[in-house]
Amino acid sequence: MIDRYTIKMIRRPLQSAAALPDKIGITANQVTITGFLLGLLVLPALAFQQYDWALAFILINRLFDGLDGAIARKQGITDCGGFLDITLDFLFYSMVPFGFVLADPGANAVAGAFLIFAFIGTGSSFLSFAIMASKLNIENLVYKQKSLYYIGGLTEGTETIACFILFCLLPQHFSTIAWIFGSLCWVTTATRIWAGYQTLRD
């Protein structure tokens, strides 16, 4: 819902940060993969209830995710880079609630499963429309810098990151937050399906 605003806020700092990697020949795809590999450390951190470390790795992963896009805009956006970025993003997003399930299966399993279920809804509706939009050459005037059509919703990247931060700061309330955020994700899925269907039908 607020990605269009946060993207504008962080664009200039990320462009500045991308200058050095671009200058020394580091590619956007290398940054994407490195960020994902560092993000994998979230899973053991959560499993062993090291929530401060988990939060640090979440923030590092998201920083690399923003940096790879800034580098790609300097070097040229590619289809393979966009594919790699979105695929690893969704894997990372589902890994975080799974980590909380491992931390406390008794208290977190059902809520964690519900949130991952909700992520399937947001992810599939997002990617399905992106495929159709690409096929029909439909452009999003708000997110022109994206490598694929970026259909918005109530829960986007910024809200998801904020949710993960809350998880780490308030791990004892994971279930409550997961149920609430998962429900909001289903609102996003429903609106995306409706908007996408109407757009493609017309």
Contact between 134 and 81 (Cβ < 8 Å): no
In the annotation, is 104 catalytic? no
DSSP state of 173: G
DSSP state of 170: -
Query: How far apart, in whole angstroms, are the C-alpha atoms of residue 18 and residue 176?
Result: 38
Instruction: Select which of 3, 79, 89, 104 is catalytic.
Output: 89
Contact between 54 and 98 (Cβ < 8 Å): no
Query: How far apart, in whole angstroms, are the C-alpha atoms of residue 159 and residue 99?
Result: 19
Query: How far apart, in whole angstroms, are the C-alpha atoms of residue 166 and residue 173?
Result: 9
DSSP state of 109: H
Per the structure block, which two tokens stand in for 101?
């399930």
**What is the dihedral angle through the alpha carbons of 89, 20, 22, 40, rounded to the nearest 10 degrees?**
-20
Contact between 191 and 129 (Cβ < 8 Å): no
Q: Catalytic residue numbers?
A: 89
